[in-house]
Structure formats: C-alpha cells, structure tokens
A and B are shown apart, each in its own frame.
Chain A
Amino acid sequence: MMFEYSALVTLIALTAILAYSFYAVLLAGQLSLAQIGLASLAAFTSALVVPAEPLFGFIPPLVIGIVFGMSVGMIAAFILGLPVIRLRGVFLAIATLAFAEMVRIFLINQTWTNGAQGMSFPKLVGPVSAWLVLILVAYWFWRLAGSRLGRAFDAIREDELAAGSMGINVARYRMASFVIAGAISGLYGVLLAYFSRFADPNGFSFVAAVDGLVTAVVGGVTLFIGPILGSVFLSVLPELQRTLGIDAGWIRPMISGVLLLVVILFLPGGLSSLIPRRKSALKLETDPALMPALAPLPERGTEIVRLQGLGKHYGGVHAVREVDLHLEAGEILGLIGPNGAGKTTLVNMVTGLIPPSSGTGTVLGNTLTVRTRAHRLAKSGVARTFQQIKLFNRLSALENVLVGGYRIGKDTLLRRLIFLPSARRHERELLAMASTQLARVGLADKAATSAGDLSYGDQRRLEIARALAAHPTLLVLDEPAAGMNHVEAAGLSELIRSLAGDGITVLVIEHNVRMMLQTCDRIIVLNFGEVIASGEPADVARNPQVLEAYLGSDADDDAPHGEQGTGRHAATTAEPEEQR
C-alpha cells in the first residue's frame, strides 16, 4: 500500500514535469508535440553515458543523467527548431509530431535500445527526488513570469507583429521557448526511465504526447502552478474512481474525456484560473525618483529618416512609387492622402515591416533592405502604433506598456532567480517609466483594465503609451485619432506637440485634416503612391492639386477602415483572425 502511493506521488511529479514542457511552448503561444520524442531521445541516450557508480566518487549518477538528458533535449530541440520554428499553429504541431514519430521509429530500429523489447534502467528516482526536481522547475517558471523574458513570451503569444515592433526578436524568443521545452522534456525522459526502470520507444508515443498536452491545458497556462494542478487532478482521479469501486475499463477514458471537454469549453484558463489572483500584483509606480536614466535623444536637426526614390509594388500594382522624404529630430511630419494612397505601406517600410521594392532608405542609421527586420529598427529607436489596433488584449493596460519598455529594459530572470535586489530595482524603474507614459496619455486610472476591454479611443491612446515606453527617437503614429471625437483629437494634438517638445521625432498619418494642420510642422500629401505636395501645413492646404485629390473629395473624414477594400492595400490591412 505504501509503495503504491509512493509510486503515485512520484508519477504526479513526473507528469507535471512533462506538462511543464508543454507549458513552456504554450506560454509563447506555440503548440509543439515534439516533447515526447525529445524525452525519448534523452532517456535512451542517457543510458549510454550514465555510470553505475558516482562520478569522481561524489557526483550521483542521477545528476549526470539529468544534466545529460537536459542537454540532449535542448540540443535536439534547437536543431529541430532551425527548420520548423517558422511554422505556425497546426503546422508546427504536425511537424513536431512527425519528428516525435520519426524518433520513435528510429529508436525502435536500433539494436542498442533493444528495439520494441525495451531497455532496463537502474532505479534512481523516488518520490523525494522527483518532487525536488518538480519544485525547481516550478520555481523557475514562477520567477520567469514578470521577467523580461516572460513579458516577451506574453507579447509573442498575444500578437507577434506588435511584439516585433516593440523590439522583440520574435524568431529568437520562439526558439528560446522551444529549447526550454526541450530541456524539460529531456529531464522528464530521464526521470521517467530511471523511475520506472524500464523504457521502450513505443511508450513515447502520440498518446503520451497528448496526455502531456492535456495535463498542461487542464492545469492552465495562466499561472505557473497550472501543470502541477493538472497533474494532481488527472492522476488522483483514477485513484478515486478505483476507491469508489467503479472499475469498467471504459469509464476512465470517458471521465477524462468529459472533464477535458468541460475544462476547455467552460474554463478556458484551466484549473489555475480558479485560483484568485492577488489584485495588488501590479500597481502604478508614481515616484518620479524611480524613473530610469534615459539616453538623450538626438540633437534637434539630426537626420532621422532619409528616403530616396523609395517604392513598393505588389505584382503590377504600385502602392508607393518614387517617394523622397527626410525627417529631422524633433520634427512632426504629417502624411495625408486619400484612402489607398500608400501611406500605411510607406510607414510599414519605414518601420521595417515590409521591404521596399526599389529606391533606398535610411532610418536611424539602418539601411532599409530585404533583410531589415522590424525588431532591429525598434531596437534602434523606432516605435509605432497601428492603423488596426494591435494591443496585447488579454494583458492589462499597464502590462501592455511594460512590454513596450522592452527596449530600455535588461534581462532580469537570472537575478530574479536568486532575488537580487538590483532586479527588483530595475523592474521598479521600468514600472515607473510605464506608469508615467500611461498617465501621460490619460489612462492612469485604467491601468488594471484588460486592453481588450478598453474603449476604442482609449485603445488608441494605450498604443501610444506603449510606444512611448520604449523611449523612442522616432514615433510613428498610424491614424491615432481614428474613432476619437473632436475634443479627444484636440487633446491628442496637444500630446503630439508636447512629445516633439521633448525632442521625439513624430511621423503621423491621419485623416483628420484640421488636426493635422494644427499639429504638424510639415505635411506630405500622397496620392496613388506618389508625393503630390509637401511643405508647411498652410501651403499644402492651399495647393490646388491637393484640394482636388484629397480635400476636395469627401474622403477626409471617412471611416478609418476604408482602406481595406482598395486592393493595393490588401497587404497592409490586418487580418483579425490570424492563425495562431
């Protein structure tokens, strides 16, 4: 009886560790099923190196196995990640599943694994060691939440594109989550083999992978403790059932199926969402003394952007052609033009989201080429808002702005693990920066509200605050006043002028012409992808060509989404239900 329970207790820990390997990728919004293959690889290869006696007389064999297994898992995950990391959603899931199956078939056909007969291992893992390892893993994930790495994962999960324009190297972080999952998978594989004293490659199958995934989902990914909850719940359930004397073979899968269905339909956050969260978790930091020391912005008049003959065409459609543009530090440049004139395409090129087809451009010292990446430009000081709002909807307003501070932040995870005070100080500085920006756009009282629940105008303002938290040199605003009334727009105009007063260079697209005339130092008018006028607001407003193309038409206060239907902008409008 005692032995039976000790096995159950150990299994709970092991299942939870497997679930953590899924948790690691789910955190970054990815679905990988490779874990079980990585675990298998780690378990069998560890048998080749783990000695029977302690190494040098004091390093226990299990420790060697764990270190080795985690390394195998990480390396294999990295190699697998190189080709598959660019896949998304179900494609990633299927590719990684294929990998796991290939590992299984490979190992079955090897003589050193005894094929399908399996291999025996010495018993090195018991309840104490399993739970000790589990606690270490859980602790690591606990400290991860709130660290820079953790926030980057949150951002990628919510919106990869917006994350990239905050300076987050999405590809690298996705790979990081993959490799972390690999390490934990390897850990799981080794622990399982040295606990059950036996392993055969067929044990690491699709069904096992699904079990791990189910445990992670039932536990939930909203809180670090989720995998443990899921594992306890799903492991104890059959025991309860046995105690109650229900013993038909089909009842167990039935109950777990029904439970899983109930959780996914009615409790999307998993069991961990039942745990009440501390409300005080994140509060505004209003102490001005805590503001971080920020690098000075470039001197007024420094060249920020220079475009020469920049063009973009999609097939035969020229969205932007031959645009020359220069922008100096502290200037506010307005970009206006009818719907479909190529404004958003132009700023997408300036912010590195799309490469130009022709011409040359330099933004903050970066040359715009096919290899330009948005996160690289963001790192050098470009921040932007989007025409179609791209907030991290499930994060609070304050958390959104904190992600924006990625550029000026430093990695804190290692310091957080040992509770170094410097990490805490650094985080409070970032919090102070974020709070200041939130207050600046007038959203201080809504800091705790989920971004998705804010009103349209507030969402636009929050995007600006998020961009400002990066301490940008160049701020690009794509239709910031859309959906705002005249009073709000006037407030926005004032905000933009004050930002320029601080030395921030602003490039703004807007249909609200009255506001643009009041706000901008210079205005460029685009029509059919070409510059038809540029100069001081008053001159532009009098230009007959402009009047005909833009002001004369009734397009000026049209709905902000009008550009969707114009074809040439097909690539610049957001698809709300992107594959995740």
Chain B
Amino acid sequence: MQQFMDGIFLGSIYALFAIGFTLVFGVLDRLNLAHAAVFSAGALIGIEGVTRLGISIWLAIPLVMIAGAVMGILIERIAFRPLGKRHDAHFGGLISSIALGTIILALLQARYGPDTRRFPPEAFPSTRFEFLGATVSLLQVVILVISVSLMLILTWVVAKSKLGRGMRTIAENPHAASVLGLNVNRITSTTFAISSALGAVAGVLFTLNVNAASLGLGHAVELKGLAVIIVGGMGSLPGALVGGLILGLAEVYAVNYVGSSWRDMVAFGLLFLILILRPQGLFGARKTREV
C-alpha cells in the first residue's frame, strides 16, 4: 500500500510536467524541449522566493506560475513563432527550443550558481497521516491535489471554454483557424503560457518532494515526461495523467523488485514497448497517413 501511494504521488508530478509538454504538442504539433529548463527555473525561483523574500510557499507557487507563464510566452516568441511555416518547422522547433533551454539554464547558472539548492525545512509543514495502513505526508497530499485539480481545470478549459475551442481549431488546421478570424498567435501564446506555468509548478512540487534542486533537474524529468506523453498518447490530457501515474507506480515497484539501479529502465522500456505496439499511445487517436 505504501508503495502504491508513493507511486501515485511520484506519478502525479510526472503527469503535471508531462501535461505541459503534451498540451503544446496537441495544439501545435511541436515538441518544446525548453520545458525542462522551465521546470528547473520554477524550482529555483520558488526557492529564492521562499528563502530570500521569506514569503510562504503558498504565495510562492502562484508567483512561480506567473514566472513560468512569462517564460512560456518568451519561448513561443523566440523559439517557435519565427519558424512560422517553414517546411522544417517541426525539426527546427526541436532545435530552437533546445537552444533556448540552454540559454535559460545558463542564465539560471549565472544567477544561482551550479550548486544544489533546497527549500528551508520549515517551508512546508511536515505533518503526516496514516491512510489505509500507509504513511502519507501532507506534502504528498498537496502535490496530488494540486496536480489533479490543475489537470481537471485544464481538461475543462480545453474541452469547454472558448480558448479551448480555439486551441482545438488550431490543432486541426491553423490556416483555416486564422481565416475564420481566430487570433492564432494569441491562442498559441496562451497555450505556451499555460504549459510553462504548469511546468514551473511541477518543478516546485518536485523539489519539495525530493528536497534538492539543481540545474540538471529538468533533464532527468524531461526524459520521463517524454515517456509519459508517449505512453499516454501524444496530445492527450487524460493520457498524460494516466501515463504519469502508470510510470510513477511502475518505477516505485521496480525499485522494490528489481533494484534502484534498474529503475530508469522501466520508463524507457515501457516507452519503447508502447511505441512499437501502439504508437499512438493509450489514449491517442491514430493519425492515418493521408495520400
């Protein structure tokens, strides 16, 4: 039971990170590899807020979200929009977002140095509960609640709101969307802002959970995030949630049964298997190649 719970908590962070990834992919068909840098940035900015400004973690989280959103808008403006309709925009976006991710990390290094940083121990109450025979910390509950509620809100936004309708229209056909009078640029910017805000919050939650943040934090999670969105299905929000949980559980059980040194094999083995057996992922729609 304890493992099950741990797996769920770990998985919900993966899911939160992956949702930002998959949102951009679902709408724009582009993979934003600067997402990992936003994740690291979220963690470090959150730590600075709590330690230097002395604000509470509850205030730091919304601040980090705003910072993340700003980064998202910048990423879209700098790394994606200039590529426009270039025939290799798909590939170009990968490279330009890697480049921008490198720049963001360099700036973080300039400000925070290469060392590992932590939240002060009193930043978060260390209350613990007993639940169905497992020990659960308040932090874990909060992580789960924040992740799930953000995902629910987002799913609602995409499915029901005007913004969501705009996103889905652009996903279908950006050209037609602009002909219909949708402000494609603004909706795209908003998508990036939401995506990066979630990525930044995921960074804070992850750091609270493992209590250490370094520049390289994002890279390890980035690979996991890729695994999650592939397993769940590219562009699918419920897929990212379920994929995240599956990965979290699989990792926790893997540590228990095959040893921690093989843990990461699980994520990539799973990812590989899904790509071979069901490339569209568990929840993705199959895109047929059109002639």
State the A residues within 8 Å of B (CB).
31, 83-84, 87, 89-91, 93-95, 97-99, 101-102, 105-106, 108-109, 161, 206-207, 210, 213-214, 217, 248-254, 256-258, 260-261, 264-265, 268, 348, 353-354, 393-394, 570-575, 578-580
Contact = CB atoms under 8 A, between A and B. Distances in A.
Contacts of A252: 106
Interface in B149-184: none
B190 to A, nearest CB: 22
B123 to A, nearest CB: 26
Nearest to B271: A98
A336 B70 CA distance: 56
Interface stretch (B3-11, B53-61, B89-97, B195-203): B89-97
Contacts of A265: 82-83, 92, 96
B100 A101 contact: no
B105 A214 contact: no
A102 B273 CA distance: 12
Contacts, number: 139
A570 B99 CA distance: 38
12 contacts: A87-B279, A91-B275, A94-B275, A95-B271, A105-B262, A256-B102, A260-B95, A261-B103, A268-B92, A578-B289, A580-B87, A580-B91
Contacts of A573: 290-291
B100 A250 contact: no
A210 B227 CA distance: 18
Given A90-B94, A105-B262, A257-B100, A207 B219 contact: yes
B24 to A, nearest CB: 12
B33 to A, nearest CB: 9
B195 to A, nearest CB: 16
Contacts of A99: 268, 272
Interface of B: 25, 29, 31, 78-79, 82-83, 86-88, 90-92, 94-96, 98-103, 105-107, 109-110, 114, 219, 223, 226-227, 230, 234, 261-262, 264-265, 268-269, 271-272, 275-276, 279, 287-291
A247 to B, nearest CB: 13
B30 to A, nearest CB: 9
A214 B264 contact: no
Contacts of B110: 248, 250, 254
B226 to A, nearest CB: 5
A571 B261 contact: no
A108 B105 CA distance: 27
Chain B binding surface, main DSSP class: helix
B96 A97 contact: no
A574 B98 CA distance: 31
Nearest to A579: B90
Q: Which of A213, A250, A260, A572 has the most CB of B within 10 A?
A: A250
Contact of B102 (A109, A206, A253): A253
Given A94-B226, A105-B262, A89 B90 contact: yes
Given A253-B106, A253-B109, A260-B98, A98 B275 contact: yes
A98 B99 contact: no
A578 B289 CA distance: 8
Contacts of B95: 213-214, 217, 260, 264
Given A102-B268, A161-B291, A250-B110, 17 more contacts: A90-B25, A90-B94, A98-B226, A98-B268, A98-B272, A98-B275, A102-B269, A105-B264, A210-B98, A214-B98, A250-B106, A257-B99, A258-B99, A261-B100, A264-B83, A571-B290, A572-B290
A198 B20 CA distance: 39
B107 A254 contact: yes
Contacts of A264: 83, 92, 95-96, 99
Contacts of B275: 84, 87, 91, 94-95, 98
A83 B276 contact: yes
Contacts of A102: 265, 268-269, 272
B226 A105 contact: no
Nearest to A88: B289
A574 B291 contact: yes
A579 B83 CA distance: 16
A345 to B, nearest CB: 9
A106 B227 CA distance: 18
Nearest to A101: B268
Contacts of A393: 87
A348 B290 CA distance: 12
Contacts of B88: 268, 580
A471 B108 CA distance: 61
A407 B31 CA distance: 37
A248 B276 CA distance: 45
A575 B290 contact: yes
Contacts of A570: 290
Contacts of A106: 265
